Amino acid sequence: MPQISKDFQGQTVITTFETTPAMAFDLIEALEAALAACISKQPGFISAGLHVNDARTRVCNYSQWQRREDYQAMLRNPEMRERNRHINELSKNFEPVMYEVVTAY
């Protein structure tokens, strides 16, 4: 489970996917499959969570990694590169952004 804390020393990545209501659940299924079969098994993976907005036009993935390099290595994994090509087809665009926790309440 994600633990959001100012003391977290790892890498937080929030990826926002823009999609359509017709494709939202296909995208979520593809992301769930990637998380279960590939992402969660990569070195340095800590946790992840998926979120979808009410309109089913945006999906957000919140993930935590031990180090920035662990996340970057996951992206270079051949299986994940193939999965990302499929995920790209299900979304209009997506943007992963690395963050640090500044504060949590």
The string of pLDDT tens digits covering residues 24-69 is 999 999 999 999 999 999 999 999 999 999 999 999 999 999 999 9
Top-level CATH class of 18-92?
alpha beta
Element holding 77 (H helix, E strand) = none
Q: Is the pTM of this model over 0.95?
A: no
The residue ranges of every structural domain in the chain are 18-92
**Residue 1 pLDDT more than 80?**
no
Which value, in Å, is the radius of gyration of the alpha carbons in the chain?
A: 14
